[in-house]
Structures are given as structure tokens and as C-alpha cells.
Structure 1
Amino acid sequence: MRRLVAVSNRVSSLRAAPLAGGLAVALADALRENRGLWFGWSGKTVDVANDEPHVSREGEVTSATVDLTQEDHDAYYSGFANRCLWPLFHFRLDLTGYDRAHYEAYKRVNLRFAQSLLPLLEQDDLVWVHDYHLFPIGRELRKLGAKQRLGFFLHIPFPPRELLTTLPQHLSLVKALFEYDLVGFQIEDDVKRLAAYVEQDLGGKVGHGWMEAFGKRLRIQAFPVGIDTARFHDFGFSTHGEREYQRMREFLRDRDQIIGVDRLDYSKGLVRRMNAYELLLDRHPESHGRVTYLQVAPISRGEVTAYRDFRRELEQHAASMNGRFGRVDWVPVRYVNEAIPRRRLAGLYRASRIGLVTPMRDGMNLVAKEYVAAQDEADPGVLILSRFAGAAQEMRDALLVNPYDTEEVATALETARTMAVDERRRRHQSLMRGLLENDVAQWSRRFLEALTTE
């Protein structure tokens, strides 16, 4: 069996992976099955960085991490990755910052990572690189002589060529992708956007599952990421999940709860979401006191100005709505920045009649899948999902909405609130079937099988 080497910006504890969710869950089981190595940043900043990685073992899995200087972290991670690539790849040119010094740091850190990783590689390894922080690491590994099979998976959307070409380094970034043997995107639309760039801007060739440019052929495919569906469903009925469910039902006193769970990020559409809820309350006075909205939004990237400004706007909006509609015995909006453990979160989902997931743009969005997985099949809630989330390609039995259309989202909220139980069950059964067929284990297995194929 070939060893799997996973490379990501951060390395998590394998023991905590089931509770952390996201990429940690996806990689943990694959690494255990393939006696793997997980490489990335330690999460620590130091005065002087040492290229010698910190190596540790958990069972059959080895973790190797390197530290960053504060300067490199600020320029590589907070700077180029999250002030430039993140907004650009989420179609937000108005928030995209271009700074050549940040790009130089981005290249420098990727080179350092490659130099630290190379001595750890074995001849027959499969190397799986994850996400936008690490576009160039495959190129740097090739320059250093790495011959192993290299795969890259982008978890966020890929932008249209008209946006991508505003990036001064667009050519270098795409050229770096052609050093991998396989590139995976979340949905076919992302594959098509890169294909349009390769054909129209590079004069390259595109076929089914492959692209040619820079004298190289790249295999490319959509691999929609899933969740650990069965495990997350069980979380909702575990001791912690059941306790949270019962506590919440007692608190709600037969009110219908709308729940949103998102990192505090401008791409998630939180302000427009509140506008839609406000319109629901305006249009349906009979809903006052009978519905409540819980928005869980853990703070992320607080050092980035755009995120601080967005947090302030959201807090002011929630306060304004509560001042306008609230009563002594009813608070319309509960807005918290607490990061809630996944077992408790599953209980919260289960207690919520509506899951409101309306990002303006998202690579996949696993919250939508977790909300569905946590439901009681006898009395399931209703998922309202942005058509601009990658998950919408698979979850057709959600109520799909345009998050830019406040009236459409408000109408969907009322539809979901009054939907009959038979209709809710039908939709949930269809959605759950898809989640079980394409869970996170199937996702990683499909990618690694494709990477192994010559």
C-alpha cells in the first residue's frame, strides 16, 4: 500500500478530528488507512524559523510541522492568501488587495514548506496538497527533484477568467497547477472556468478530464467533498447532542428556530440573510413571537480589516432588529460568536425547523450537509440553500434561493416555516440518500484512486 502524504496550511490533532469537522475529518481517516504523513504549519509563530520540521506520531500516522515567523505569517497567510486570493476566488474584487511583497512572502513560505517536506518523502508516496494557501508547493517540489505523484485539491471556488486575470500573478499561479498530476475542484463549474482560461488566455487545449498548456498535460476533475454523514447523524442523538436538543426545545417553547452557522466571513451573506428575516417579520406579523433566528458566527481572521468592519456591521444590524421587533418575552435574533463543539451543534441543528445557508459564493458548504444529517427523519427541518454554494449542485431538494434576492429568501423562509411534515420528510429522505452515497470517505477514495492512476 502506498503511503499518503497530506499537505495543508494547518495540521490538526487526529484525536480531535471528528470534533473539528471539515478538512480534519476528511484527512484523518484517509491518513490512518494509508499509514500517512500530515505536513503543514504548526500554528506557531517564532522569531527565527527553523526548516527542520517537528515530527510526532499518533498511532500509524506521522505529523510533521514547521513554524513561521510573524512577518511571514502576516504576509503569506493574512496577506496574500486571505486579503488577495480568498476575496478574489469568492468573486469579491472590491475587497481584493494586491501587494507584491505579500506575493513574495507567499512564494517564500511555499518554498520553505517544500524544502522541509522533501527529505520526509518516500519514493512511492502519494502527495495530496490542499487549498489556495499552497498553489506553488507542487512546483517547488518538482524543482527540488520530487518525482512522486502530486495531487492538488481546491476547496474554495475557482473564479472566472475575467476576474482571475486581474491578479498580476495569474499566469504564475495557473502554471503552478500544471506541475501536479491531478487537480481536483469541488464542482464542474470550477473545472469549466479553468478550462476557459486555459483555452482563451493560454491558447491551450482542453478535453474531457484533461488540459494541455506549458508543454504539459494536466488531469482535472470535480470531486464534490462530503461529510461523515452517519457519524454526524449519531452526534445529534448522542448524550451531548440529546442534551443540547432538549435544552433548546425547552428554551424555544414551541417556537420555530431558524439557524445559521458560519465563520464570520463576508462571503457567507450574513447581512443579506438578516435582511430577509427582517422582511419575513415585516410581511408576517403573525410570526412575531413564534419564530426566532439563531446565528452562530465564530470570529475568524480578525486581523484583516474587512473582517473587523463586517463584524461591526453585523452586530449593529442584529441590535437594530431586536430593538425594532423585540418584546419582553421574545428576542427575534440571537447572535453569538461562540465556536460550538460538533456534538452540541448537531443537537442545535436537530432542534431547528429551518437551516438557513445562504453564502454569496462557496466552494461547497458543509454546514448545509451537516444540518440535513442531524435531522430526525420523523420530523425533519427544511434546508434553505444558496444556489451559489457548491452543495446546491447535489442538494436539489433543498429550497434553493438567490441570496441577492431578499424577497425570494424571505418567501422561502415562510414556505419552510409552514411546510407540511410529509413534504419535509420527502425532501429530507432524498437529501439524506445523497449524503450517504457521497460521504467524505467516498470523496477521498475517489480522489486517491484517480491520483494513483497513471
Structure 2
Amino acid sequence: MARLVIVSNRTASPRDRGTRAGGLAVGLREALQKEGGLWFGWSGELSEAAAEPKIHEAGNILFATIPLTAADHDDFYVHYANGTLWPLCHYRLGLIEFSRSAYEGYLRVNRLFAERLAPLLRPDDIIWIHDYHFIPLASALRALGVANRIGFFLHIPLPAPEVLTALPRHRRLVADLCAYDLVGFQTADDLRAFSSYLEEERVGAMDRDGAFQAFGRHGMAAAFPIGIDTQAFVDLAQAAVDSPQTRRLADSLGGRRLVIGVDRLDYSKGIPQRMESFQAALESHPEHRGRVTYMQIAPISRGEVEQYRALRRELEGWVGRINGRFGEFDWAPVRYLNKAFPRQSLAGFYRAAAVGLVTPLRDGMNLVAKEYVAAQDPENPGVLVLSRFAGAARSLPQALIVNPFDVEEIGDAIHLALTMPLEERRARWAGMMAELRTNTIQSWCQAFVSRLNAIDTNRRAA
């Protein structure tokens, strides 16, 4: 059996176990552990000069990491990956900051990764590269003579052609994407955007089976909606019911019902609109005043970037206004926490919440939505309010699907969720759980790797 090699911006820690590791890390670790594999990525460290990989062995897995120089990290990660590609793919064109030097740094770091990875590869390795940080990596590996099967999965949305073409040098980026043997997307919408780009820009075409021909190459593209480790999260939530943190949360609510949002602090998550929507729910449905608490957990992300500092100030303003307007001496309508919590704590919080608010303005999938559903008590489940622009909305139609830009609609959905009859809540939850149990993180990994393994490498050249 061929060895699996995974490349991502950050690797899982060799010491992470169980509840400490995130769902994606758990799934990728299992895929590597099954037959043995290599996980290659950035160490999280900065150095004065490029260095050779550090190798750590854990069970059947080799972890290989390299540092970046401060200049490479700024150009590659801060300015291009997250200052250019992230806002582009989340349809925030006004936030794009493109510079030629950052773009060159992005290509430079991809070449560095290729140079450090290539000597570690075996001829029959299957290589699986993850996310927008490494779109050019296959091209860089091919330039070094690497002939292995290489697949790529984009975890964030691929924008429609009219948005993607706003990116300077977009054609080079898509050409690099086409250097992969298999390109995976979260949803059929992303796959359609890729096909539309090839046709509208007249650089290639894709057939109904996902086979594409572009830039002198043949490849395959398909949607692989990512899942979670469903049973593990169910078990985690059940175990968390009587945990000290869950009990503390329940005691602090004083019998009030909980509405919860959990997001990384990012402008793509729609948190300001969500705050305004909760205010709209209290305005339109005064019966919920004093009876419902909204808790928003939003760990700080990219705090060195002014856009994110401004977002934090905006949210703090919303919390102050809502609590100042509706709060009582014994009730604060909104709790806003800029800190991360362990997965077991979050599982307990989800289970305690009558409503899960997942309303990103644009998201590749959003696994919080799936974790919220998996955490629920089957006898008395909560209700998921879900943005139509999250990839999860395609597979969880039983949620209350909303337009995240319509604050009144979200406010009405919160009211509907809080007043929904038990039998309807159970029926909606059962439909979503059937999906979560069918499409897990394990089946996602298996589907992608199996498809990549089946690629006919003799048909690469057009």
C-alpha cells in the first residue's frame, strides 16, 4: 500500500490526543496512522534563515516541520494568503490587499516547501496538499521532477469567476491548481465555479464526471464535503453533561435558555450581523427578554491585523449597546468571550444551548454547525440556525436556513427556534444526524484518498 503524505500549513502536534485535537486533525491522523505516513508543514517557529526539516516520529506517523523567516511569514502567510486570498475567496473584494512582493513571497515559500519535501518522498507516495496556502505547491514539486500522484483540497470557498478574476494574476493561480491530479472542493457550488472559470476564461473545460483539461494538463475535480468524527463528538458531549464547566454554565443561566455562537474572530463569520439579529429578536419578541442569554465565543484571530482589531471594537460596541438597552440587574442579554475553550467544554456548551447560531457571510463548510447537531440530546434537541452561504447548508437542509445579511430574518429564526415544538425539533435533528453519521471525517478522508489512488497518471498531459 502506498504511503500517504499530507501537507498543510500547520501539522497536528505529535502529542495531541483525543479531545485536544480538532476534528480535521483527528481524521487526517487516522488516515496516516492506518498505513503509515508523513505529515509535513510549518513548525510555527520563525528563524533567521531557511532550515532543514525537523523529524518527529509518533506511532506510524512521521511529522516533518520547517521554520519560516520573518520576511517569508509576512509575505506568504500574513499578506498574501490571508491578506489577499482569504478576503477574495470570502467575497470581500474591498479588503483585498495585493502587492507584488507578497505574491512573490507566496511563490517563494511554496518553492521552499517543495525543496524541503521532495527529498523525503518515496516514488509510490500519494501526496495530499491542503488549502489556499499551497495552491502552487504541485507546480513547484513537478518542477523538481516529482511524478507522484498529488491531490489538493480547498477548505474555503472558491469564488465565482467574476470575483476570482478580480485577483491580479488569477490565471497563474488557476494554472497551478490544474497541476494537481485531483482537486477537491467542499461543495458542488465550488466545483461549478471552477468549471465556469475554465470555460469563461477559455483556458479549458470540465465534463460532467469532473475530468478537466486545461493549461495543457488533464486532471479530475470533485466535491468532497467534509464531515466530523460524529460518534466521538456525541460521546464527548454526553461525557460533558456533568462536567464542572457545563454545570457552572447551567448554574449561571439561572434557568434561562441559551443561544450560542462559536467562531474564530473573523469578518467572514457575520458576528456583527448576528449581534444585531439578536437585538432584533428582543425588539420584536419582548417575551424573550430576561429569559434568553446569547453567548458568543470568539477567540482572537490575526490580532496584529487592523481589520481584525476593528472588528473586535465593533463587537464590543454591539455588546455594550444591547446589554445597556435590555439588561437588568440580574440579566445580561449577551455574553462575549474572546477566549478559546477545550473541545470537551464546547461540546457541553453546545448540548446546553437551545439554539445554535451559525451565520457566516461565506464559509467553505463550517464544522461548528455539525458539531452543534452532534452534541444535542436526542430527547430534547436544540435548533440550528444556519447561513445559506455556509457549505454545511447543502447537507443540513433541516436547519433553519437564513440569509446572514437579513438581520430581521435571523431574529425571526431565533424566535422560531425558541418556540419550536419538541416533535418538530426531534424530526429536524434526526434528519441532520442521519447525514452526519453517513458522511464523517473518516469517510471524507477515505473517499478522497481512494479517488486520488485511482488516478491514471498516464493521462496528465493534454
Compute the TM-score of the two structures, normalised by the length of structure 2.
0.96
Deviation, structure 1 residue 117 = 0.2
Contact 1:7–1:40 at 8 Å: present in 2 too?
yes
Deviation, structure 1 residue 447 = 0.2
Q: Hey, what does 1:10 align to over in structure 2? A: 10
Q: Provide the C-alpha distance between the structure 1 equivalents of 2:436 and 2:26, rounded to a whole number of angstroms.
A: 15
Q: Hey, what does 1:173 align to over in structure 2? A: 173
2:228 aligned partner, one-letter code: I
Deviations 1:403-426 (A, max 9, x none): 111111011000000111111111
Contact 2:240–2:345 at 8 Å: present in 1 too?
no
1:349 aligned partner, one-letter code: Y
Contact 2:226–2:365 at 8 Å: present in 1 too?
yes
Q: Hey, what does 2:290 align to over in structure 1? A: 289
1:120 aligned partner, one-letter code: L
Q: Provide the C-alpha distance between the structure 2 equivalents of 1:77 and 1:241, rounded to a whole number of angstroms.
A: 41
Contact 1:11–1:41 at 8 Å: present in 2 too?
yes
Q: Provide the C-alpha distance between the structure 2 equivalents of 1:72 and 1:294, rounded to a whole number of angstroms.
A: 38
1:347 aligned partner, one-letter code: G
Structure 1 residues 82-161: aligned runs within 5 Å: 82-161=82-161
CA pair 47-241 structure 1, distance change in 2 beyond 3 A: farther
Structure 1 residues 195-234: aligned runs within 5 Å: 195-208=195-208, 209-234=210-235
Deviation, structure 1 residue 200 = 1.1
Contact 1:372–1:432 at 8 Å: present in 2 too?
yes
Q: Hey, what does 1:407 align to over in structure 2? A: 408
Compute the TM-score of the two structures, normalised by the length of structure 1.
0.98
Q: Hey, what does 2:337 align to over in structure 1? A: 336
Deviations 1:78-119 (A, max 9, x none): 110000000000000011111110000000000000000000
Q: Which moved more, 1:182-191 or 1:12-21?
A: 12-21
Q: Hey, what does 1:348 align to over in structure 2? A: 349
Contact 1:125–1:149 at 8 Å: present in 2 too?
yes
Q: Provide the C-alpha distance between the structure 1 equivalents of 2:131 and 2:17, rounded to a whole number of angstroms.
A: 18
Q: Hey, what does 1:364 align to over in structure 2? A: 365
Q: Provide the C-alpha distance between the structure 2 equivalents of 1:26 and 1:198, rounded to a whole number of angstroms.
A: 32
Deviation, structure 1 residue 2 = 1.1
Q: Hey, what does 1:33 align to over in structure 2? A: 34
Q: Hey, what does 2:301 align to over in structure 1? A: 300
Q: Which runs of 5+ in 1 are unaligned?
A: none
Deviations 1:165-201 (A, max 9, x none): 1111201110011111100000010010011110110
Contact 1:17–1:24 at 8 Å: present in 2 too?
no
Contact 2:2–2:126 at 8 Å: present in 1 too?
yes
Q: Which moved more, 1:119-128 or 1:5-14?
A: 5-14
Q: Provide the C-alpha distance between the structure 2 equivalents of 1:102 and 1:2, rounded to a whole number of angstroms.
A: 36
Q: Where do 4+ consecutive residues of structure 1 move more than 6 Å?
A: none
Q: Which runs of 5+ in 2 are unaligned?
A: 456-462
Deviation, structure 1 residue 334 = 0.2
Does 2:254 align with 1:269?
A: no
Aligned residues: 453
Residue aligned with 2:98, SS: coil
Contact 2:150–2:181 at 8 Å: present in 1 too?
yes
Q: Hey, what does 2:162 align to over in structure 1? A: 162
Q: Which moved more, 1:239-248 or 1:279-288?
A: 239-248
What's the RMSD between the two structures over aligned residues? 1.1
Q: Provide the C-alpha distance between the structure 1 equivalents of 2:354 and 2:200, rounded to a whole number of angstroms.
A: 47
Q: Hey, what does 2:458 align to over in structure 1? A: none
Residue aligned with 1:237, SS: helix
Deviation, structure 1 residue 239 = 5.2
Q: Provide the C-alpha distance between the structure 1 equivalents of 2:49 and 2:205, rounded to a whole number of angstroms.
A: 45
1:359 aligned partner, one-letter code: P
Contact 2:23–2:229 at 8 Å: present in 1 too?
no
Contact 1:386–1:392 at 8 Å: present in 2 too?
yes
Contact 2:187–2:224 at 8 Å: present in 1 too?
yes
2:70 aligned partner, one-letter code: Q
Q: Provide the C-alpha distance between the structure 2 equivalents of 1:260 and 1:156, rounded to a whole number of angstroms.
A: 20
Contact 1:402–1:409 at 8 Å: present in 2 too?
yes
Does 2:55 align with 1:62?
A: no
Q: Provide the C-alpha distance between the structure 2 equivalents of 1:429 and 1:111, rounded to a whole number of angstroms.
A: 47
